[in-house]
Structure 1
């Protein structure tokens, strides 16, 4: 799928309130402005098209703690390209997409749960509250034209296996489709991949997440 990385970056910065991405010869740099994530470098090649030499060069130029790399390759491969001072998440992420249809319907929450959705600043958020009012599940989506980025999808452990993840995703898909978005994009975890695939999402590439912690971080 052409442009899927750019679509993900564009929607992610809207979802998280980050700075507009800066185009690089190899991808994008995004300033996030948090202690744990000052900025991130996102490479726009996928899978076997990722250039090891380019990743090594960009990683070698990072000297400040809190800078992240996002490389669309398996961590067992891309992790070996990074030098001293890098923490690499051993679990792969997954860049995933799904077609969105205008007739997507908003589902109902299971009995006792309360479902609410609202939009602020171009981002639609969904909350599923448990019968006691505590958080059960949540998520958000940032449509940016033809694509929409799904983000921060979460189901609290005590409320899993009750269909709440599907309720959140279907609600967000319907909201995105109503804006005219035709394709959904997300970066999923191994824990979420099964849910997304059951809902029709397709893996485009694995994802390595790495954070520079400094050579003396232990």
Structure 2
């Protein structure tokens, strides 16, 4: 999919209430404004197209803690490009996409669970509450035109294997399709990849997440 990285960063910024992405020669910078996540640099090349020199140069210019890099290549590769002070998540993420179509009918949660969706600032959030009122599952989607970014999809461990993740994803897919979005985009974890693939999502590239913690962070 052409422009998949731009679609992801645009929707992610809307989903998280971050600043609009700023275009860079190598990708995008997003100001987030949190103590442990001040900003992030996202490279727009995928896989073998990632420029090692560009990653090294951007990483070498970072001196403040809380700055993240997002590189669409395997962590074992990217880790060797980064200098002292960088923490690299050893588990790869996955940039994934899916064609969006509205389901014939909205999915329903298992008996005893309560579902609710609401939209604020262009972001639709979904809650699935357990019978005792505690959180069972959640997720959100930010449509930004022909694409929509799915974000923060979580199923609490005690409520897994009950179809709640599928309920959340299918509900948000219906919401996004109703806005006219044609393609869904997300950055998934190894734990979530199986669910997404079972729902028709496809991996476009691995994703390395790295955070600058400073040379004296141990």
Same structural fold, with TM-score higher than 0.5 when normalized by the shorter chain: yes
Deviation digits for residues 38-81 of structure 1, max 9, x if unmatched? Answer: 00000000000001011000000000000000000000111110
Kindly indicate whether residue 117 of structure 2 is the aligned counterpart of residue 134 of structure 1.
Answer: no
Aligned length: 218
User: Distance in 1 between the 2:121 and 2:165 partners?
Assistant: 24
- Mapped contact 1:104–1:173 kept (Cα < 8 A): no
Kindly indicate whether residue 111 of structure 2 is the aligned counterpart of residue 111 of structure 1.
Answer: yes
Q: CA deviation at 1:106?
A: 1.8
Structure 1 match to 2:75 = 75
Say which SS state the counterpart of residue 84 (structure 2) adopts: coil
Query: Aligned ranges for residues 7-22 of structure 1 at < 5 Å?
Result: 7-22=7-22
Structure 2 match to 1:45 = 45
- Mapped contact 2:102–2:173 kept (Cα < 8 A): no
Q: CA RMSD in A?
A: 0.7
Q: CA deviation at 1:137?
A: 0.1
Structure 1: 5+ residue runs without aligned partners?
Answer: none
User: Distance in 2 between the 1:186 and 1:105 partners?
Assistant: 23
Say which SS state the counterpart of residue 34 (structure 2) adopts: coil
User: Distance in 1 between the 2:105 and 2:137 partners?
Assistant: 19
User: Distance in 1 between the 2:84 and 2:141 partners?
Assistant: 36
User: Distance in 2 between the 1:213 and 1:56 partners?
Assistant: 16
- Mapped contact 1:102–1:180 kept (Cα < 8 A): no
User: Distance in 1 between the 2:211 and 2:62 partners?
Assistant: 10
Structure 2 match to 1:185 = 185
Q: CA deviation at 1:103?
A: 4.3
